[in-house]
Amino acid sequence: MLGMNRKLEQLEKEGKVISVGLIGAGQMGRGMISQIEGMKGMKVVITADIQLDNVLHGYEAANVPKDQVVEVKSKEEAEEQLAKGKYAAAAQANLVYECKQVDVVVDATGVPDIGAEIAWNSIQNNKHIVMLNVEADVTVGHYLYEEAAKKGVVYTGSAGDEPGAVMELHDFAEALGFDIVALGKGKNNPLNIASNPTVTEEEAKRKGASPKMIASFQDGTKTMVEMNCVANATGFIPDKPGMHGYSGSVKELPSIFQTKENGGKIEKHKIVDYINGVAPGVFAIITSNKQEVHEEMKYLSMGDGPHYVLYRPYHLTSLETPLSVAKAYFDQEPTIAPYKGLIAETVAVAKEDLEEGNYLDGIGGYTVYGKIYEYKEAEELQALPIGLVNKQVKLKRSIPKGEVITYKDVELEGESFIWELRKSQDERTQVKS
């Protein structure tokens, strides 16, 4: 995001800042607070978390003086404290998106149902919304993106998250006229679809992370939803359900991402996939139909062709989120959004034999994992999107391990905001088609 440093510096010189409201003060949220405290022209003015101590710890870790952080319990109280130049700490999310001083809201909850509600309410309150919640995005992001456009605000994924980092490579290559063959990310742990919070408990303790989050990495769900996000933004599709997940080094990627008839391992071009062995990076495989371009790529030590790899060896997750905040504020543009509509779907698959009458749990739990499909194929299967899985979802029949769970296999007991939003999205999609 070239030039954002100068824009932020100029804003600060004018005596202004981008006022950020954060919801979710877990690991990602707290990291973002500290990063922004070292930046010019931006400030996390209010943070909400159901565990208020997380908010207070986040500001303390960012070296914000304790007497500058005030607990607030109402919108009026929050606005009063912000007007005094204080930081506000809240337990209620609505105090963030309803606060008049907030320019941009960041959702760092990681919970699909909560994230969908935060995004919707932020949009209704005319706030830009940055999602550190890919699970919500792949479930109802298309609807939220369209609603944000109607309101004249920005709905966006985050820089630093793998989809945002992939999108930077995609836009760079597409702007230059390269033919993009594949987009992908590295996976830094072997795929284990049986992983669950019990399996990951010790690793989670060592890393200071949630066992469910680690399990969602290991069982592949996180990788599936991340590449689902890229698919909806670019129009690229998985080469097969679940993608390939080959192993290889960066240098081997151009040969892997050749069609089988040309000695490679893929069936189609313009696909999303992941590779074991190149984590934590992201990549784009590119080519050209111009001989002079090939000659120049060889001269630039990009390989012998005809395919080449653009590789970014890092993604700084929430530490890069402020760049998406700034892009939304200054440029009125997303970092990544479902520009192409519903291209892929990450569906729920039984992680073990599940009995009729049982309740599902959620992403990174014991009952299901996610698997990416082309959207049209998932629709034909009536497959249940992984982002709709929660503890209120009850099985109407027994499901064997490894089988895709469908809408007709389940019933929702009680209310769920993301289910209602998904219903609205599906109805709108059917009308358009």
pLDDT in tens, 264-282: 999 999 999 999 989 999 9
pLDDT at 207 over 90: no
pLDDT in tens, 282-295: 999 999 999 999 99
CB 220 within 8 A of CB 369: yes
pLDDT at 117 over 90: yes
pLDDT, residue 321, reads 98
What number of other Cβ atoms are within 10 A of residue 191's Cβ?
16
Q: Count Cβ atoms within 10 A of the Cβ of residue 46 and give its class: 0-12 exposed, 13-18 middle, 19 or more buried.
A: buried
pLDDT, residue 1, reads 77
DSSP three-state, residue 187: strand
Of all residues in the chain, the percent with pLDDT exceeding 70 is 100
pLDDT in tens, 38-82: 999 999 999 999 999 999 999 999 999 999 999 999 999 999 999
pLDDT, residue 2, reads 85
CB 386 within 8 A of CB 108: no
Q: What CA–CA distances, in Å, run from 426 to 62, 122, 142?
A: 42, 22, 10
Who contacts 53 (Cβ-Cβ below 8 Å, separation ≥6)? none
pLDDT at 432 over 80: no
Of all residues in the chain, the percent with pLDDT exceeding 90 is 96
Any alpha helices (H) in 125-161, and if so which ranges?
Answer: 134-151
pLDDT in tens, 9-36: 999 999 999 999 999 999 999 999 999 9
What is the rounded average pLDDT of the residues 302-317?
97
CB 366 within 8 A of CB 401: no
pLDDT, residue 430, reads 81
What is the rounded average pLDDT of the residues 236-261?
97
CB 346 within 8 A of CB 224: yes
What is the rounded average pLDDT of the residues 188-213?
91
pLDDT, residue 433, reads 61
pLDDT at 345 over 90: yes
pLDDT at 301 over 90: yes
Check residues 62 and 1 and name the one with the higher pLDDT: 62
pLDDT, residue 412, reads 97
Give me the domains of the chain, ranges plus CATH numbers. 4-158+318-331 (3.40.50.720), 162-314 (no CATH), 344-432 (3.90.1210.10)
Q: What CA–CA distances, in Å, run from 10 to 40, 121, 143, 244, 314?
A: 9, 31, 35, 46, 28
